[in-house]
Amino acid sequence: MKPVKVGICGLGTVGSGTFNVLQRNAGEISRRAGRGIKVAQIATRTSKPQFQTTGIVMTNDVFALAANDEIDIVIELVGGYTVARDLVLLAIENGKHVVTANKALIAVHGNEIFAKACEHGVIVAFEAAVAGGIPVIQAIREGLSANRINWVAGIINGTGNFILTEMREKGRTFEDVLAEAQTLGYAEADPTFDVEGIDAAHKLTILASIAFGIPLQFDKVYTEGITKLTTADVSYAEALGYRIKHLGVARSTASGIELRVHPTLIPADRLIANVNGVMNAVMVNGDAAGSTLFYGAGAGMEPTASSVIADLVDVVRAMTSDPENRVPHLAFQPDSLSAHPILPIEACESAYYLRIQAKDHPGVLAQVARILSERGINIESIMQKEVEAQDGLVPMILLTHRVLEQHINNAITALEALHGVVGSVVRIRVEYLN
């Protein structure tokens, strides 16, 4: 059989990795796919690729590649929302299958892209969009398809996890570690996407859709990054037996679906609390399988290339199959997606870590306890540190039981109004993941 002809758009970190792994493992890959895979064209603005391009048509026009009759599968690795969207839609209209690593594109424009792909009978594959080299899309979409999924929780931004780990273990500064993550090719073109939680929110949007069979709804994800975390809270959390991780949580409840990314205290003895550096991990809780945990490199050249090429092999295998009988893009049949609502953050339920800076006066602790108890908030544990020399204030750290966010918001407003409390109350959500 003639080899499948592939075009690669974008020759950055992932594009170069994909080309290299495709060449290095060509024999193994074609034995799996059942056909050879030939990179016939590359669209790049990189002036000099670091490899031999003989026999490959080079262009700087991604749209020419997407319209090239010779190409069967377009690999979109340009990133971003605009050019990527236009080129993917053009490729689909030209009857080409698409493989993409672009989580922003899928989270924001996926509903439109998948509808168009179904219209034209082509596949849009996106394993590399979530958690780098971990085949978690396939695991949820196919391996767990017997289950009613209760929740998904994951460390899904490698850069953020790398920063938190290096700060905690080596005392390095935020800026220093971020600069290294950029050099290593982990960070997004705009690294605020990593540190403000936007990248994790893109990935959580995708995970929630394939877990619960809902349309992609990126605009409804509650998003908080890691930039406001302090070393004091990291240390207090440790003293209480927890680690702080940046977590994406998607939970199905009777009233709706929680979709939130934020720093989270996790008991230090959980496996996921010990996922460090650029590694990612995704826990999925299903009613039949129970909890499963998927772990691996969340970013980087070859781990991401591994997922891109796995998609490529899947597409090659499925090319001759009837489009009606392929695995649906979002795991559930497109006409069976659910309208279960996404809950606003105020209606989400969590346990909380609160840090209060109190004046060293009698009765402040009693007032704090009264405010919480009046709102039905049960205290799990409390830790009061010695007076801090520089400001004469006493850090008071509380862990609460699970409660609706609107009640904790209300309590925080009342706490901040107390005469004995100075400044803002720090609030970090706590998840037990059991």
Assign 393 to helix, strand or coil: strand
Residue 26 or 139: which CB sits closer to ligand HSE?
Answer: 139
- Token pair of 55, please? 């026999």
- Shortest CA distance to 249 belongs to which of 261, 233, 264? 261
Residue 213 or 298: which CB sits closer to ligand HSE?
Answer: 298
Find the shortest distance in angstroms from Cβ 207 to ligand HSE: 13
Question: Could you give the string, one character per residue 110-139, with x where binding to ligand HSE holds by CB under 6 A and - elsewhere?
Answer: ----------------------x-------
Q: Is 132 left (phi over 0), alpha (psi -120 to 50) or beta?
A: left
Residue 309 or 412: which CB sits closer to ligand HSE?
Answer: 309
Catalytic-residue membership of 203: yes
The residue type of 84 is A
- State which of positions 149-188 bind ligand HSE (CB under 6 A): 157-159, 186-188
Assign 326 to helix, strand or coil: coil
- Token pair of 253, please? 């409840």
Interface with ligand HSE, residue 299, by CB under 6 A: yes
DSSP letter assigned to residue 143: I
Q: Which residues contact 175 (CB under 8 A, 6 or more apart)?
A: none
Catalytic-labelled residue, pool 48, 96, 103, 203: 203
Interface with ligand HSE, residue 98, by CB under 6 A: no
Q: Per DSSP, what are the bridge partners of residue 121?
A: none
Count of residues that interact with ligand HSE, criterion CB under 6 A = 11
State the Cα–Cα distance between residues 105 and 102, nearest whole angstrom: 5
Residue 198 or 372: which CB sits closer to ligand HSE?
Answer: 198
Interface with ligand HSE, residue 395, by CB under 6 A: no
Q: Which residues contact 269 (CB under 8 A, 6 or more apart)?
A: 241
Q: Which of 76, 194, 224, 258 binds ligand HSE (CB under 6 A)?
A: 194
Find the shortest distance in angstroms from Cβ 131 to ligand HSE: 7
Find the shortest distance in angstroms from Cβ 139 to ligand HSE: 17
- Shortest CA distance to 125 belongs to which of 71, 82, 74? 74
Residue 18 or 159: which CB sits closer to ligand HSE?
Answer: 159
- Shortest CA distance to 281 belongs to which of 425, 139, 124, 427? 139
Q: Which residues are catalytic?
A: 203
**What is the binding site for ligand HSE (CB under 6 A)?**
132, 157-159, 186-188, 194, 199, 298-299
